[in-house]
Structure formats: C-alpha cells, structure tokens
Structure 1
Amino acid sequence: MSFLLETAPSRAAAALLVSRGTAGLVTTRVYGSRIVLRQRGRQFHAGPVGREKQQSPVEQFIDQINTKSTTQKTKSKIYKSADDAIADIKDGVTILSSGFGLCGVAETLIDAIRKKGIRDLTIVSNNAGAGEHGLTKLTTSGQISRMIVSFIGNNKPLGKQYHDGKVAIELCPQGTIAERLRAAGAGIPAFFTGTGASTLIQTGGIPHRLGAKDPQTGKHEVLEPGRPRETRIFDGRPHLMETALKGDVAIVRAWKADEAGNCVFRTATKAYGVLMPKAAKLAIVEAENIVPIGSLDPDHVHLPSIYVDRICPATSDKQFEKLVLAPTQDATAETGEEAVKRNRIAKRAAKELHEGYYANLGVGIPTLAPSFLPAGANIWLQSENGIIGMGPYPATKADADPDTVNAGKETITLVPGASTFDSAESFGMIRGGHVDVSLLGALQVSASGDLANYIIPGKAFNGMGGAMDLVSNPDKTKIIVCTYHTDKEGRSKILDECELPLTGKGVVSTIITELAVFQVDRVGGGGLTLTEVADGLTVDDVRAKTRAKFAVADDLGTF
C-alpha cells in the first residue's frame, strides 16, 4: 500500500527524514518523477523530482519566506537598519501597512521601500497617507499599482491617479478590513458580515480600475469592475461573505520590541499593528525601543514573538496628522452663523447621550456633542480606531501625543478608566451591538432611514472608513444623524429616497439638524415624524427646506 507523504513535498525534505531515521524511514528510491520512502512494507511518495518550473522573482521570494529552516528561525531577528530588513523584498508583493492615518505608520520602512524602488506593489492599509507622509510617499513615486483601503480622503493625488487609471483601488469597510486580517491570521478562509449589505459593496458597484473618460458622457471606461459578494440571510438580515486578507509582507511600528520579537504598542497604534503581522508570511517591525529578552512583562505583550520575523530601529519622527488643541474661552464663544448652526445641532445631540452610555462619535459635528454634556456626566466615548474613554483635546502641544488620536485623526486625551485595543476588537464591539448609540454625519438621509455619507460619484471618492460597520446593527446601536439641513447649494439633505450610493439601508432612527428633529420609522415604513423645531421657526419653515414628506407630532416641541 502506498500513501502520499504530504509532510515531505521535496527531495530535500525526504532526504532529511531518512537521515534522521524519522518513523523508521531508512531507504529512498526514485520511480519516474517521484521519490518513494519505505517503512515497514509501506511506501510514502514524496514530491516530484527533476527539472522544476522556472519561478518568477516574486514566487522565489514567497517560497523563501514560506520555507524557513530551523537555522533561519534561530537566527537573530534584529537588523541594523530598515534598508537591511527589506533588502530581499521583490517587486510585485502584497504589503500590509499598519497605521491609522499617520498614527502608528511604519514610516522608516516606507522610506526604505521608496529608496530601494520596489514597484508594482499591492498595499493593504486603513488609510493611504496624508500630506507628504506615510503611504503618500509610495503613491506619488508610482510604486503602488493597487490598494485595498477604507479611506483615501487625505491623499488627494491618489484619487486623481485612480480616476486617471494609473492605480487600482478596492474600497473596503474599515471593520471588514480588520476582520479579514484577523481571519487570515487565524486560518479562517471566509466569514459573513452584515457590513455593506444593500450597498455598492454587495453588488460590486465600485470599479477597481478605470480607463479613459468618454468626452461626451463624462463617464470612465471600467477596466476592472468591483467584486460582488455572495449573500446569505441570517436572523432575517442579509450578510455578505468576505474572504481572508493575506499579505506577503507586513510592516508595522511598535513602541517596544524585545530581541525575541515580542511587541508592545502605545494607545491607538494598536489599531492594525497587532493584526497585520499575523496575516503576513513575513512580518517586519520597526521599533522605537529594542530591548533585551526578559525586559518586557509577559502580561504587557500585545504581539507575541511567534508572529514577528524581523526587527529594525524606528528612526523616523512621528507626525501629527491633525494637531488639535482644546479651544480657548474665546473660541468656545464663536458667534458666526456656521458656528451657531453647528453648536445648535451638537447641543441637541448631547441630549441623546444618556448616563452610562457607550457612544461612538463620527467625525465633524458629532465630536462637538460632549462639550454640551452636564458636568460629571458618565458617558464613555468609543472611537473606532480602538479607544474607550476619549477625553477632551489636549490643552497644549506639549500635552499632545501623536499615538493618541480619535477617528478623525485629531489629537485627544484619555480619561481615567480608558482602555485601548486593536481594530478587530473595536469593530467587534460595534458590529456586535455593544455600543449604545452612534452619532454620524450625512450627505443624504431618506424618509425610510437610508444613509448616504461616503461618496459622490464623479466628485468625491474618499471611501467609507468605518461608517458601514457603525450602521451594521441598528437594532442594537441607535443611529442618529447630525447634519446641516441643506447642502452648500441649498438643497435638502433629507429626501424621500437617497440619490447617492448608500452607506446603510434602513439604519437611521433620528435626524438632528439646525432646523428640526425627526424620528424615523425605519422598520415599520411609517416615514418621518417631525418632533421638534428650532426656537423661532415654524413647521412651514421646515417644510420649505425639506424634500421629504413628514408627519408632525401632536406634542411638537422646540430646541
């Protein structure tokens, strides 16, 4: 009887087994193209012999990092520089690049990759860089051919490259990227999620690569369409199948790494720093502090050494993407028309944050709501990049920490009792309905609770960030939209049906604008009910600026 010996796929491996006397294997013979091992009358067939197919440089590199010998594993993981750590990386690989904006980005390794001129890269990252830092360096140099990303809004040149057909972009919700990475590291090939259901993510409606623009229609040729998702119904709701997201190389930045490869991350740098090494064949860590084995408390290690292959010194300075300081007394007393409108919305939204709530605040107007909470209010603010217990903006630049930022990449402080964690943990809280309420901005919102807030076709191509995840469980997490009543052109943002691509369908429960408060019957199909109007306004004033039908509550209030 003969059996395929899957643990010895090559001549070298078979010879090694025989030389060690493994399981009584003592002889080998060659039959045709295969090596046969004999043991107590059984035959074990090892891999083919003879001339092997010519491999590309990328295949050779991947084989190299897939077949680490015992000698390689016992070799020191410490490299003297980032240049040395990436010296054997080839063109065409997939790189998982950590960081939330510029927070936690592996800038030293990115500089080395740019310097070496590695090209035709597929990059997986939450963001695409900002200003002249982070992945912007590789997009402007033309070294990236494809990106899998949740938000590109702060890298304007990349958006132009996409529309010019020079780079492919796969937009993927932030929490889905995190979970796909976690799945890859855990050996889970695919999973189902409610994030992105009933949106262009489900249908594959966002092209990955564009071609020439038709001068007559103004539309681009689609060279590579988006990828539709397989859909199934669980608990009465549609869910999309997402696949594990693997990389050839992960580049991350840690606060501390010992010589074994155990890593410690500070505050919000955990977002992807903990996840990406687990999903890559080769993980390279640039560390701000490299310490001897035994220097780290085992209970304080965030990334165990088993996931780390190479360590080099982090020599680049950390950058503030958005240095925001606490407003002065004069600033809080703004009286301009826009400030008055923003503050009116935020003040009313603060009433939705009840004692003991865990609340997530989207960027923009929602972040102003906590300033209108009563003194001593017990509200825990959750940030999607991995924080519970966000505090106010730092008082001075000296108090600001580039490792501690909110979802808008603004510098913040942490309150006593705060905790920090990676993005897979954060979005598990969100999708699991553990967050009580989420305040979000909007481009448009419909009478049935549909939300559109991430893309304007032909104009704004920024990405959805974490918004699709935040609205994925509206039965457990109340979704409140905080937005101006009209857009910059004076057009109503509240419509019978959204005209822009959806972030979520039937997800919004309450709409707060500077003019009115609406309750949404998102499940029963009852549409909008006006429950409050701003002081000094009438129902007719609201109707004049609203493109959706609505009922008026019998006990109409004011705010």
Structure 2
Amino acid sequence: MSLLVETVGSRGAIARSFASASSPLALSRKHETTVLRRIGVSSSLSSSILFLASPAPRTQLKKRYFSAKSARREQLREAVSAQRQRRGPPAVDRSASKVFKSADDAIADIPDGTTILSAGFGLCGVADVSDGVSLERTQRLITEYHLLAETLIDAIRKKGIRDLTVVSNNAGAGEYGLAKLTSTGQISRMIVSFIGNNKSLGKQYHDGQVAIELCPQGTIAERLHAGGAGVPAFFTATGARTLIETGGIPHRLGPKDPQTGTHAVVEPGRPRETRVFDDGRTYLLETALRGDVAIVRAWKADEAGNCVFRTTTKAYGVLMPKAARLAIVEAEHIVPVGSLDPDHVHLPGIYVDRICPATSPKHIEKLVLAKTSSSSTTNEEQSSEDVKRNRIARRAAKELKDGYYVNLGVGIPTLAPSFLPASTKVWLQSENGIIGMGPYPSSREAADPDTVNAGKEAVTLVPGASTFDSAESFGMIRGGHVDVSILGALQVSAQGDLANYIIPGKAFNGMGGAMDLVSNPDKTKIIVCTYHTDKDGRSKILDECELPLTGKGVVSMIITELAVFEVDRVGGTGLTLTETAEGVTVDMVRENTRAKFTVAENLGTME
C-alpha cells in the first residue's frame, strides 16, 4: 500500500515523503510543485495529514483498497475525506450567525482551487466595486459617504486566492467584475457563455494560460437549476448539430505551430450524448452544474438569509446559491428577521450561508440615452449606415403583430420597435429576465444599473412588465413561448443555417443566448437582420455557412439593406427573393449573394 503518514512542515518534506511512499519515484523541485498542487497541499500546512500517494491506476487502487485490512481501509477513507475537505469550501455551521462584518471576513477561509459560481449579467448584479464611470468618482463616493470598496470579488483578489474555476454568464468587462481576477491570473478555468467584453481573456485562452468551456447561456442556467434541485442531467435541443454537440471547441489550447499557424489542443471539448425523441428532434445530454462557493449581490437580505433582488439582478442571483455548497450574499441592505414580506422573497434563507454588506456603488456597463425629439435627425442628416440600419429595422417591424412576445438580439434588431405603429403593442422579452422591456432611459439620473437588456445597456420597463431569473427566461425561449426572435448574423445559409458567434482564430467571444434562442424554430420564428455583405464586401448569405453554426435549419426570414428572403428551412427548396430595396435590381442582389435563390412572382419593394 502506498500511503503517506505523518507529514509535517515544508513543501519539500511533504514531497520527499511522498516520493519514498511511492518508490522508486524521484521528484525534481518542479515535480514537487506539480504533485503538491494535484493533491491540494498549501504552503501553510502545519498538521499531520494522511494522503493517498499511489501512482497506480484507479482499478489497481480499488483492488488494493479491498485487499487491505480494515484499519488500512479506514485510513484510506480518512485520507480521501481530508483531501476533499481541503479542496472544498468550509463546513457550514447552521447555528452560527450568517451576518459577517465585511467581505474580507466572509471569504477569509476560502481555499485555493475553489469552484466559484459568480452571479450577475455583464456587470449588472455582480459582487464587485465601482459605478462603471471612473475610479476617481468611486474614490469620491467612498470619501463622502464612507463607502468601503470591499466587495466579494475585490476581497478574493486581495486575499490572492488562486487556481479558481469560475462559472459565470460573462467574464467581466474592462477592469471590472471578473476581469479583476482574470487579469491577475487567479482564474485557471472558466465555464462561461460570453467573454467578448473581456478582451484580455481571449488572448489568455489563445496563449494557453486559461481553460475556457463555452456553454450556451440558457444551458448554464438550466445546469445550475438542475444542480440545485438534485437533478443529475437533462436533455436539451440547444446546441444540437453544432460544435457543442461534437465537442469541437477546445477547452485549452497549447502553443501555436509557426508553420501552420494553428494551436495544439491540450484539452479538447466535451462531446455530448445525443438522443432523438418522439418529436424527431435531436437533443443533447447536459449534466448538472454545482460549485463550492456562490458569490451574489442582493438588494435586501434579512439576517436569516432571505433575499430580495431588483429587476434583472435576479438573472443568476436566484440560481447560483442553490447550486453551491456555500453561498455568500453581499446585500445592499441587511435587515432584521421579519422585515421582509414573505411574498416578496426571491431566494429563501435555506440557500444562503453568509451575508456581508455591499458597501460599493453599482455599475452601468453601457449607457445609451433615448433620443429626444430635438436630438432626432432628419433623413438628410442620417449617415449612409444609419439609412441602411433603419431600412432593415423598419422592415423587421412589419413582422411584429399586436400582442406578440418578441426577443431582440443586440445591434440592428433593437431598432425595430421604434418603427412600430402606435396601434401595435408588443411585449419585448430580454433573455436576462424581462418581459415588458421599454426604451433607453431619458437621462443618466434615470438610468438604473439593476435594469439592463441583453446587450448590457440600461433600459426602462413598461407598465405591466415582469422580471425573473435566467432559468425561467430560457424556459420561455426553449419552450417556444416567444413568438418571434430577431437576431444578427455573421453568415446565414440558403437552408436556414445561422452562424453568429465565433470566427476561429480571430473572434472568440461566445454564443451567449443565441443557441437557445434558435433552439425551437418550429414555434418561434427566427428572423435574421444583417448587412448583406461584411466589411470586406463578401456576401454574408451563402449556400453553406463557412463558420461554426449557431443553429442548423433555424432561420425563416433574412432582411438586409438590399432585400428580403423567405427561407424554406423545412422543405429544403432554399431562398426566395420576395422584396428588394428601392433602386435595387435583382441583378444587384445576385451580384452580392453567394447563394442561389428564386424570385417571387409578385416581387415587392421594401418600404
């Protein structure tokens, strides 16, 4: 039996004892560090611990375990238990107060190697500091209002907790949110849906410094929901017939080959098991997602841990504590037990283990103000790009009927509601948890950092609006309860295939919620709004997409500044040109389209 007993003190002593226990293994200093990291030993270890130290395969180890005497078995069990205890979060004492004085105190015993579930959407609802405007203003607020810039992410950074696996929807932006931990190299692995606003993280991935598992936004939400509910796995149509199904997106890259310009793959992606059910559609098996520690920002929390969230901060704030072994909430207001109306509690206290005060201003990641009548431009003042964008959006608005529930992607799709007639009312659904999304705020003072759209822009809510968490939101989406979804595209094919999230070797941003949004095209009409060509003049409409797919056979209509196409995504007859823009001929459309299409007999003109 290879067993290490009574190891005390320095890292070197531990490694030498390890070597003798598993003789004839000899360890270099570099190997010592590797072994120590693998078995979870910290440099501050000062007590006698039992370690399992056999290099034997698991099958051999199992045989040794069952051939060992009972005393040895007990030692093995204690060793494994001790190792797990060191790697996991601290034990929860139900009898102790949940309220901690500060974020520093709340995370003081979190070890290296922890898996952290970090709530928030973009910078909305993130357990972090600053208002997204300037560090100077933050410091002024701290001085004037005695605010302490010690929230959970800052506390983790300051303590220097390393080798973190972090699960989050986003990876921070600029110098804020999780970008504070990626910039210091404290995160070794991320499970995330979108990293586009953390430019340095993409470079770290391509340099092999960090592992990244891209996962569709709704799938992350449902995996967390399953993890909190004790459901080990589930099937979803999201990601079917894409690189998610095949495991085609590497988790970790190695050095780039100077001759081929391609990276070695150190850790490949994870292929999914598939199954076809009675509806004839392909579904992927996704496993539950759990973490050691959840870090969440809430609006109010009572001393029993019951939490109330404002608007879109519910996105992951409600989900992640349920899926963590230890949940830490930083609350803007900590109130006595009994202060909260039970009907208003979004997260019951059973899921919350620690509470600390949120003592910092909040972020507004992107501030866009609504145009006033005095600031609106006339047709003569519009740039050529504005004319194109408005033409596409105006035509898309004609597809929206009174009473529809509509999801809008970022960019051009967000312009469509401004072209709706006053008699047509639609309910705008935002994937981060809104039905009844309104226009941009009229002023900075009216902007609410807790209320953002899918593009992380501050928005308002209309009368009758509702807000909810991301599992609820994507249940609406995957379940086909949304009538229309309008998305942008990098490429779209004649058969309705869509590619809009990644350009291999160049743009490594992530799919966000796009794969979920196109996962039920039989019930939700998918409309693509995009420029006809890319910035280099190449057609974005092809016979076959050349980029990795977001969804296969999902698009029903394509609207560009030149034309409108109907897509026979089921029958396979391809594209039909139904409208052209004023002054645009069929020949002009053919010259700019790398896909075959037929022309409708009653060809119309775009308004």
TM-score, length-scaled by structure 1: 0.90
Distance 2:75 2:499 in 1: 58
Letter in structure 1 aligned against 2:559: I
User: What's the counterpart of residue 149 of structure 1?
Assistant: 192
Distance 1:50 1:195 in 2: 42
Give structure 1 stretches of 5+ with no counterpart: 1-31, 35-46
Kept after mapping to 1: 8 A contact 2:107/2:155: yes
Distance of aligned partners of 1:530 and 1:54 in 2 relative to their CA distance in 1, 3 Å threshold: closer
Structure 1 position 54, deviation (Å)? 6.6
Kept after mapping to 1: 8 A contact 2:89/2:111: no
Structure 1 position 558, deviation (Å)? 0.3
User: What's the counterpart of residue 225 of structure 2?
Assistant: 182
User: What's the counterpart of residue 59 of structure 1?
Assistant: 85
- Higher mean alpha-carbon deviation, 98-107 vs 333-342, is at 333-342
- Higher mean alpha-carbon deviation, 538-547 vs 434-443, is at 538-547
Is 1:100 matched with 2:127?
no
Is 1:314 matched with 2:358?
yes
Equivalent runs, 1:353-368 vs 2, <5 Å: 353-368=400-415
Q: Deviations over 1:364-415 (max 9, x none)?
A: 0000000001124210000000000000100000100000000000110000
Structure 1 position 53, deviation (Å)? 1.4
Is 1:297 matched with 2:347?
no
Q: Deviations over 1:196-215 (max 9, x none)?
A: 00000000000000000011
Equivalent runs, 1:197-276 vs 2, <5 Å: 197-234=240-277, 235-276=279-320
Is 1:482 matched with 2:526?
no
Distance 1:91 1:64 in 2: 12
Q: Deviations over 1:222-265 (max 9, x none)?
A: 00000000000021011000000000000000000000000000
User: What's the counterpart of residue 20 of structure 2?
Assistant: none
Distance of aligned partners of 1:63 and 1:213 in 2 relative to their CA distance in 1, 3 Å threshold: closer
Letter in structure 2 aligned against 1:268: T
Distance of aligned partners of 1:332 and 1:245 in 2 relative to their CA distance in 1, 3 Å threshold: farther
User: What's the counterpart of residue 176 of structure 2?
Assistant: 133
Give structure 2 stretches of 5+ with no counterpart: 1-68, 129-150
Kept after mapping to 1: 8 A contact 2:234/2:286: yes
Equivalent runs, 1:146-545 vs 2, <5 Å: 146-234=189-277, 235-329=279-373, 330-333=375-378, 334-545=381-592
Kept after mapping to 1: 8 A contact 2:216/2:238: yes
- Higher mean alpha-carbon deviation, 326-335 vs 149-158, is at 326-335
3-state secondary structure, aligned to 1:517: strand
Distance 2:356 2:382 in 1: 51
Distance 1:63 1:410 in 2: 35
Distance 1:455 1:61 in 2: 35
3-state secondary structure, aligned to 2:601: strand
Distance 1:207 1:367 in 2: 32
Q: Deviations over 1:93-146 (max 9, x none)?
A: 100000000000011100000000000000000000001100000000110000
User: What's the counterpart of residue 109 of structure 2?
Assistant: 88
Distance of aligned partners of 1:542 and 1:54 in 2 relative to their CA distance in 1, 3 Å threshold: closer
Distance 2:382 2:299 in 1: 43
Distance 1:212 1:391 in 2: 47
Kept after mapping to 2: 8 A contact 1:58/1:92: no
Letter in structure 2 aligned against 1:546: T
Structure showing the higher strand proportion among its residues? 1
Distance of aligned partners of 1:169 and 1:51 in 2 relative to their CA distance in 1, 3 Å threshold: closer
Distance 1:121 1:470 in 2: 30
Q: Deviations over 1:425-484 (max 9, x none)?
A: 000000000000000000000000000000000110000000000000000000000000
Structure 1 position 328, deviation (Å)? 3.3
User: What's the counterpart of residue 28 of structure 1?
Assistant: none
Distance 2:97 2:316 in 1: 25
Distance 2:75 2:454 in 1: 54
Structure 1 position 75, deviation (Å)? 1.0
Kept after mapping to 1: 8 A contact 2:89/2:326: no
Kept after mapping to 2: 8 A contact 1:61/1:88: no
Q: Deviations over 1:243-290 (max 9, x none)?
A: 000000000000000000000000000000000000000000000000
Structure 1 position 354, deviation (Å)? 0.5
Distance 1:51 1:142 in 2: 34
User: What's the counterpart of residue 5 of structure 1?
Assistant: none
Is 1:551 matched with 2:572?
no
Distance 1:207 1:51 in 2: 35
Distance of aligned partners of 1:381 and 1:332 in 2 relative to their CA distance in 1, 3 Å threshold: farther
User: What's the counterpart of residue 139 of structure 2?
Assistant: none
Structure 1 position 57, deviation (Å)? 6.6
Distance 1:498 1:127 in 2: 27
Letter in structure 2 aligned against 1:294: G
TM-score, length-scaled by structure 2: 0.83
Kept after mapping to 2: 8 A contact 1:33/1:50: no
User: What's the counterpart of residue 10 of structure 1?
Assistant: none
Letter in structure 2 aligned against 1:272: Y
Structure 1 position 60, deviation (Å)? 2.5
Identity of aligned residues (%): 80
Let me know the Cα RMSD of the aligned residues: 1.6
